Structure 1
């Protein structure tokens, strides 16, 4: 079962992106409790200013002040290629280091185009072997493939997204019946859980959002 994150969770690796800095109760606790934090280069300055010590700083380096780049050169993992964003570089670094359980924070807000891109990338990270989720100040995004059971509570707001309108989908434990295919992004939004768990079956992959 995919449980909801809590303040007491101690994630192995948190990847901190350069969107809205985590201030929500759960998101801030996950950052505080992480064993290792990988900062995208644009997020490093704020994390350091808040008293954090990153395990690594990853990205193309264009958003990191030169003074910090020099000071933290031993942990700077710079990649100049522009085919992937800094978040993907941070995930790739973590996977190459043998870390599979990843929590992404700070990946939404500020730039709506970046937000949409970062959410969609969760499927790529899952396909690459990561057990990954994205936590915001308001809820959690989980990528899934096939069948999955989710922890919930009655009345909890749930949204479901599939990239391809031909993808077959079904579920139980939701207030509103799902159509056999989500023909547009909005078609699986604003549903509700009816109890302590719900189940989804997707013939492919999708992304599920649960509001805290």
Structure 2
């Protein structure tokens, strides 16, 4: 399956994936384990991080621990490196937003850094969001809010299935963002030629 579920030390998610068994690997950072994962109804395959957020004595001996002490990288960055080494291609991230906003911004930066190596999607109780490919199709979204946010510029954007379509237009931060659009069809397509684009979809 080559798909992983990764929990970070953001806001505890109240809505979890419907099919936990669909993931090849379930893992978390040490901060996420300490805050909420240890109370979850599932078991992680391993915990990674610099181990500054959890006493080792509180971790069951049956759960492997991978220490990643490099302070020049965030625990999220190091967790993604480990998943790449294990052959993972897709990562669903929970707990990536909420709580400390600087961490959230840092997580977006990390996701953009790994964009060409991993398909990373963030989930929270209100939305999902991801850095899109140049051609992206989104399904099962009719009636949902769809926002297009450039990082920091996206050119020649074309969309289908949105209330306010874009036709070879440019979004540039902070002058013009494509926020709070609405999907009028069950399938929405987004294409663009240059730049980077974050797509936000409400639940």
Q: TM bucket by the smaller chain?
A: 0.7 to 0.9
- Taking structure 2 as the reference length, the TM-score comes to 0.85
Note if 1:209 corresponds to 2:200: yes
User: 1:86 Cα shift?
Assistant: 0.9
- Taking structure 1 as the reference length, the TM-score comes to 0.82
User: 1:199 Cα shift?
Assistant: 1.1
Gaps of 5+ in 1: 1-9
Partners of 1:18 and 1:59 in 2: CA distance: 11
Partners of 1:115 and 1:58 in 2: CA distance: 19
Instruction: Please show how residues 8-87 of structure 1 align to structure 2 within 5 Å.
Output: 12-24=3-15, 27-29=16-18, 34-45=23-34, 46-68=36-58, 71-72=60-61, 75-87=64-76
Q: Of residues 82, 105, 129 in structure 2, which corresponds to 1:116?
A: 105
Instruction: Please show how residues 91-106 of structure 1 align to structure 2 within 5 Å.
Output: 91-106=80-95
Instruction: Check the 8 A contact 2:154/2:197 in 1, yes or no.
Output: no
Partners of 1:95 and 1:116 in 2: CA distance: 22
Q: Of residues 168, 179, 189 in structure 2, which corresponds to 1:199?
A: 189
Partners of 1:166 and 1:28 in 2: CA distance: 31
User: 1:147 Cα shift?
Assistant: 1.0
User: 1:33 Cα shift?
Assistant: 6.0
Match of 1:173 in 2: 161
Partners of 1:183 and 1:191 in 2: CA distance: 16
Partners of 1:108 and 1:138 in 2: CA distance: 11
11 and 100 in structure 1: CA distance in 2 versus 1, 3 angstrom threshold: closer
Partners of 1:105 and 1:208 in 2: CA distance: 16
Match of 2:147 in 1: 159
Gaps of 5+ in 2: none
Question: Cα RMSD (Å) of the superposition?
Answer: 2.5
Instruction: Check the 8 A contact 2:90/2:118 in 1, yes or no.
Output: yes
Q: Secondary structure at the match of 2:96?
A: coil
* Matched residue count: 199
Considering fraction of residues, name the structure with more helix: 1
Match of 1:133 in 2: 121
Q: Deviations over 1:62-111 (max 9, x none)?
A: 11223236x55972221222222111111111110112121111111111
Instruction: Check the 8 A contact 2:9/2:96 in 1, yes or no.
Output: yes
Considering fraction of residues, name the structure with more strand: 2
208 and 184 in structure 1: CA distance in 2 versus 1, 3 angstrom threshold: same
Q: Where has structure 1 moved over 6 Å in runs of 4 or more?
A: none
